[in-house]
Structure 1
Amino acid sequence: MSKEEISVKIFKALGHPIRYKIVKFLYDGPKCVCKLNEDIEFSQANLSQHLRILKEAGILSSEKVGMNTHYRISGEEIKNIVDSVDKFVMSYFNDSK
């Protein structure tokens, strides 16, 4: 896979509102999938699909802790992308007033 294809895969994964919400929910640290299921108002199967897409794009990683699976953002680079988008959106709204 080329660098461009990997970049597009990351943007596509982050481009879905539910997946973006998942990443924002995990921004402050790892959380159990049970907590994600409480916060994200979709079925377990739907949530699992979104988590799989985020993992395949390299955005999230997971680990088993006892009987539970905990998800985390895979690196600071992903947080930097989210921060950059948030800053852009703020400036976009401030400039459009």
Structure 2
Amino acid sequence: MNSDELMVKIFKALGHPIRYKIIKFLYNGPKCVCRLNEDIEFSQANLSQHLRILKDANLVKSEKVGLEMYYRLYNEDVKNIVAEVEKYVLGYINNIKELSVK
């Protein structure tokens, strides 16, 4: 896989509301998949599919601790990606508001 393909895979992975919610949920550290399942109201199978997509895009990684599977952000750069998009969106929204007032 070349770098362009990986970038597209990352954008696709982040482009779903549930996966975005998972990423934000993992901001404060690793979480057991059981906790993710409590806070993200989808079936275990559906949640597993979303986690696999995030893992395949190298946005999260997993670790088995005893009988439980824990997920964490791949690294701090994942937060930076999301922060830049959030910054862009807020700027865009503010720009639209300014244009509508004029």
Q: TM-score with structure 1 length normalisation?
A: 0.96
What amino acid maps onto 1:19 in structure 2? R
| Alpha-carbon distance in 2 for matches of 1:3, 1:19 | 21
SS state of the match for residue 41, structure 1? coil
Q: Report the alpha carbon displacement of residue 7 of structure 1 after superposing the two structures with TM.
A: 0.4
Please list the CA deviations of residues 52-97 of structure 1 after superposition, one character each: whole Å capped at 9, or x if unmatched: 0100110000101121111000011111100101111111111111
Aligned pair count reads 97
Identity %: 68
SS state of the match for residue 27, structure 2? coil
1:14 matched residue in structure 2: 14
1:80 matched residue in structure 2: 80
Q: Report the alpha carbon displacement of residue 28 of structure 1 after superposing the two structures with TM.
A: 1.3
RMSD: 0.8
What amino acid maps onto 2:91 in structure 1? S
Question: Where do 5+ consecutive residues of structure 1 fail to align?
Answer: none
1:49 matched residue in structure 2: 49
What amino acid maps onto 1:75 in structure 2? N
Which is higher, the Rg of structure 1 or of structure 2? 2
SS state of the match for residue 27, structure 1? helix
Q: TM-score with structure 2 length normalisation?
A: 0.91
| Alpha-carbon distance in 2 for matches of 1:67, 1:45 | 18
Task: Flag as ranges the 4+ runs of structure 1 deviating above 4 A.
Answer: none
Question: Where do 5+ consecutive residues of structure 2 fail to align?
Answer: 98-102
